[in-house]
Amino acid sequence: MNLYEELLEKYNVISIKPVTKGLSGDKKLRIDTACSGSLLLRISETEAYTRIKSEYDMLTRAAAISNNVPRPLGFGLCNNGKGIYQLMSWCDGEDAENLLPSMDTQQQYAVGEKAGQLLKQLHSIPAPENQEPWGLRFRRKIQGRVDYYNSAPISSKGGDILVKYLQNNQALLDNRPQTFNHGDYNISNLIISPSGGLSAIDFNYYNLGYGDPWWEFDAYIWGQEPSGYFSMGQINGYFANNPPAYFFEMLAYYMAYGALAALTLTDQGEEGTPEEGKTHMENVLKWFDNMSSTIPSWYLGGQYEHH
């Protein structure tokens, strides 16, 4: 009996439809059932077994503490050993990326608050004790981006500002705690249900793992000007309306890195387009006044009255 026959027999399947959303090359199917709601079936190449198993285990850890992530339902080899399948519950709704533009500022802020609260919950999962110190890990990431920037014909006044800022403030990375990291916690991976609930999906990003929890706040979609009200709500929801000043120092640092990564990775053709990378760099420099401020221009703090 093959995988599809097993699913048909176990879940009383009504329909199977392909899912095209997402950047991975995995085959994804939405399976609607008569007895278990909707499910997501994801099929990957067997060469990635170790990584996929690690991702599934991480999702299992997240689902153990939160009802706002997909529930893992099955994992194993399929297609005569030529593929790996993951079966999980389907998070019904629409992604925040599509819905936020039609919401008023108070609604955007409220979605951000829920996103911050959920992220805080996920960060309660501790990292293994044998994790390499974060400062060492992240310094390597920075050096890789700086080396590429210095060797490629993409130098600019903005890029020079970012490189100098990153090099002069590396001490911020020392002694940082590490927790579970979603790895790509942005509005395209947050699902708003018809009832207004919020779920996080796509626990399969290359940054998934363990790291500084505050690095997750840099997961902005390159080339887009996101909602400041959502971002402000996420920060306030995460910190129960009392973010420490030190957080903003780290936020500025991580966003400076994200801007340099956007500029260099898009130039390499690895992600997005060079235009999107340049736009993201310009956005970050604008928000932080050419890195002379650690408070982004869209963060109004207590000035924003919400209900």
pTM to 2 decimals?
0.92
- Find the helix or strand (DSSP H, E) in which 179 lies: strand 179-181
Identify whether residues 154 and 235 lie together within a single domain.
yes
Identify whether residues 43 and 158 lie together within a single domain.
no
Token couple for 139:
């310094």
Q: Where are the alpha helices (DSSP H) in 202-295?
A: 228-238, 245-267, 274-287
Identify whether residues 51 and 106 lie together within a single domain.
no
Write the CATH number for 295.
Answer: 3.90.1200.10
Low-confidence ranges of the chain (pLDDT < 50): 306-307
Identify whether residues 183 and 223 lie together within a single domain.
yes
Token couple for 181:
């990291």
State the burial class of residue 150 (Cβ atoms within 10 Å of its Cβ: 0-12, 13-18, 19+).
Answer: exposed
What does the alpha-carbon distance between residue 307 and residue 300 come to, in Å, rounded to a whole number? Answer: 15
Token couple for 97:
């990326």
Write the CATH number for 82.
Answer: 3.30.200.20
Is residue 175 a contact partner of residue 135, using CB atoms and an 8 Å limit?
Answer: yes
Q: What digits encode the pLDDT tens for the residues 24-50?
A: 678 999 999 988 899 999 998 888 899
Identify whether residues 179 and 263 lie together within a single domain.
yes
Q: In what order do the strands lie in the sheet with 27-33?
A: 13-18, 27-33, 38-45, 83-89, 72-78
Q: How many structural domains is the chain composed of?
A: 2
Nearest 5°: CA angle at 275, between 270 and 279? 110
Find the domain containing 119 and state its range.
Answer: 94-303
Identify whether residues 138 and 30 lie together within a single domain.
no
Identify whether residues 104 and 75 lie together within a single domain.
no
Helix (H/G/I), strand (E/B), else coil: 44: strand
Q: What digits encode the pLDDT tens for the residues 177-217?
A: 999 999 999 999 999 999 999 999 998 876 779 999 999 99
Predicted pLDDT at 307: 41
